[in-house]
Structure 1
Amino acid sequence: MKPAAGALPRHPLHLAFSDFREITKARLAISVVFSALAGYLLGAEQVRLMPLLLLAVGGYCMVGASNAFNQVIERDLDALMHRTRNRPIPAGRIQVAQALAIAIAMTLAGVVLLYLLNPKTALFGTLSIFLYTCVYTPLKTVTPLAVFAGAFPGAIPFMLGWVAATGEFGIEPGTLFMIQFFWQFPHFWALGWMLDEDYRRGGFKMLPTGKKDTGTAVQIIMYTIWMIVISIVPVFGITGRLHLSIPAAVLVFLMGLVMLWFALRLYELRDRKSARSLMLSSVTYISLIQIVYVIDKFLS
């Protein structure tokens, strides 16, 4: 296809970089790295640049590898859905062997970089790839419980940062894990509601009841409430070195109520627009509370 009149043709390197970003899902990977860095800042007694760089690059490699493996496995299903048919593999811009090479190389690089931080960080990073690729991905066409399985690797990044900073797993990273674990459900069910028709074309079962109905909306509300509760638990002083001041806890609680309001709107209206609003509010929520946690630590 010829470029439009007046448009500059894109350089092959630019196209290759664009496909690399797409096969590693760069925007998603960057948001995951953000969570990991927030966890590191919460756990570190002294913030140092080199561990931050190792965590950022190693974390991106691990997430990018997971996404590349996922797109290799789901390439035929991706070709059936409108939102994924132009991905590099189904569109023929990247061959399966090339995608596998990228995934394997990024896995090895990620494991090495995270191991340089400490062995536990590398272990949890490797576990996240295994769960995402070998458990969550195949279950997506089998059962709605795939979202439950996917919530485990999806909740690791926030926790991973603390482990990277301390080399230890305890109540503190466990709490960070639980916050992001419960957040996964309203986030992905809202996304599943938005894209239900397209997911059905690919044979994916993403909604808990299999339908955009009252049961799904109620479960979204319940998991949002649990997410809010877990998010403010550190204010009670029962989570070790992970603290949250009363003003910060109030702010986190209010942000949670905003997200709950969008969940209630979805229950009331049950339309795509409400689902999209909830999905966007969930992305905003998880990013903002991580910022609040970090700022609160350094101001307290």
Structure 2
Amino acid sequence: MKTAVNTAINRSMTLSVADFKEITKARLAISVVFSSLAGYLLGAHQINVISLLLLAFGGYCMVGASNAYNQIIEKDLDALMKRTKNRPIPSGRMTVRHALIIAVILTVLGVASLYVLNPKTAMFGAISIFLYTSVYTPLKTITPLAVFVGAFPGAIPFMLGWVAATNEFGIEPGTLFMIQFFWQFPHFWALGWMLDDDYKQGGFKMLPTGKKDKGTALQIIMYTIWMLVISIVPVFGITGRLILSIPAAIVIFMMGMVMLVFAFKLYEKRDNVTARKLMLASVSYITLMQIVYVVDKFI
């Protein structure tokens, strides 16, 4: 009997942890935290471990809160799609009230943690939650421009780290913002291309032309080019303290060219296999690009 009770408790705890990770989209939140930490390392004159921990904790809370609010709002639509119907709320494993409590607690903890760093960081974190929840999420079923709106809160993390380290907003964090802003279009449109049929089941309008056609593929190419250009701009010495060496710029350019090749292949083939390759290339690009920036600063 005791063994059965312990087993049931362990299963319940495992399920609760799994549902918390799902409601906060843990993998996405961790990638966002990584971007924020990279921005902090780029901006910091002196690295403070406590500040790094506050930024990581606050950043996870803010992203987790945004995702929880999103899943509360879209619970009925999530139930219509294969990709999302097993999420905690539509599956019935978590109530809306429970999810809302989690979202509110994460919001308070996130804003408070970032405020300890400095008020500007907390302000940008709060703006990202507002834009993602109150503007981007409702627009997803209305217009493909939702991706453009969503790119704003999505581009904040890389910039947020710099602001957390310096308490300043200028050309340096602005450049970091623009890099991640333009990156999101090829990334999310490649994802939207792969999941187009499922998105349509939920009524979401994610592709710029509404179709998996040459028009969408051409826009992916254009935004990839802009992303690549902005990514190497610091090599010209016009972005303040944000500086990139020539070797680092060459490495980033070559990585960007890989993405661009996949973008052109998508224009040519217009299939899900190529879209998936582009999506994976984009994930690799944003991570490796940030690593190159940080390593380049410290060597």
If the length of structure 1 is used for normalisation, what is the TM-score?
0.97
Taking the aligned partners of 1:16 and 1:212, their CA distance within structure 2 comes to 38
2:160 is equivalent to residue 166 of structure 1: no
2:44 is equivalent to residue 30 of structure 1: no
Show the counterpart of 2:62.
62
Show the counterpart of 1:133.
133
Which runs of 5 or more residues in structure 2 are unaligned? 1-6
The aligned amino acid for 1:209 is T
Show the counterpart of 2:239.
239
SS in 2 for 1:178: helix
Taking the aligned partners of 2:293 and 2:104, their CA distance within structure 1 comes to 34
1:86-235 matched pairs, under 5 angstroms: 86-235=86-235
Taking the aligned partners of 1:192 and 1:258, their CA distance within structure 2 comes to 20
The aligned amino acid for 2:38 is A
Taking the aligned partners of 1:130 and 1:151, their CA distance within structure 2 comes to 13
Q: Please list every run of at least 4 consecutive aligned residues from structure 1 whose deviation after the TM superposition is greater than 6 angstroms.
A: none
Question: Cα distance, 1:9 vs. partner?
Answer: 9.3
Taking the aligned partners of 2:194 and 2:277, their CA distance within structure 1 comes to 10
Taking the aligned partners of 2:78 and 2:160, their CA distance within structure 1 comes to 30
2:287 is equivalent to residue 287 of structure 1: yes
Taking the aligned partners of 1:280 and 1:69, their CA distance within structure 2 comes to 27
Question: Cα distance, 1:11 vs. partner?
Answer: 2.0
- Cα 1:250/1:202, change in 2 over 3 Å: same
Taking the aligned partners of 2:110 and 2:224, their CA distance within structure 1 comes to 32
The aligned amino acid for 1:144 is P
SS in 1 for 2:239: coil
Taking the aligned partners of 2:240 and 2:86, their CA distance within structure 1 comes to 47
What is the percent sequence identity of the aligned residues? 75
Show the counterpart of 1:252.
252
Taking the aligned partners of 2:184 and 2:10, their CA distance within structure 1 comes to 37
Question: Cα distance, 1:8 vs. partner?
Answer: 10
Taking the aligned partners of 2:194 and 2:132, their CA distance within structure 1 comes to 22
The aligned amino acid for 2:276 is R
2:81 is equivalent to residue 81 of structure 1: yes
Show the counterpart of 1:4.
none
The aligned amino acid for 2:85 is R
Question: Cα distance, 1:39 vs. partner?
Answer: 0.1
SS in 1 for 2:83: coil
Q: Deviations over 1:105-137 (max 9, x none)?
A: 000000000000000000000000000000000
SS in 1 for 2:59: helix
Show the counterpart of 2:3.
none
Taking the aligned partners of 2:49 and 2:93, their CA distance within structure 1 comes to 37
Question: Cα distance, 1:10 vs. partner?
Answer: 5.3
Q: Deviations over 1:176-224 (max 9, x none)?
A: 0000000000000000000000000000000000000010000000000
SS in 1 for 2:277: helix
SS in 2 for 1:211: coil
Show the counterpart of 2:53.
53
Q: Deviations over 1:260-287 (max 9, x none)?
A: 0010110111000000000000000000
Taking the aligned partners of 1:207 and 1:19, their CA distance within structure 2 comes to 29
Show the counterpart of 1:40.
40
The aligned amino acid for 2:112 is V
Show the counterpart of 2:4.
none
Taking the aligned partners of 2:177 and 2:112, their CA distance within structure 1 comes to 23
Taking the aligned partners of 1:168 and 1:9, their CA distance within structure 2 comes to 48
Taking the aligned partners of 2:247 and 2:47, their CA distance within structure 1 comes to 24
Please identify, of 8-17 and 127-136, the stretch whose mean Cα deviation from structure 2 is larger. Answer: 8-17
Taking the aligned partners of 1:172 and 1:298, their CA distance within structure 2 comes to 17
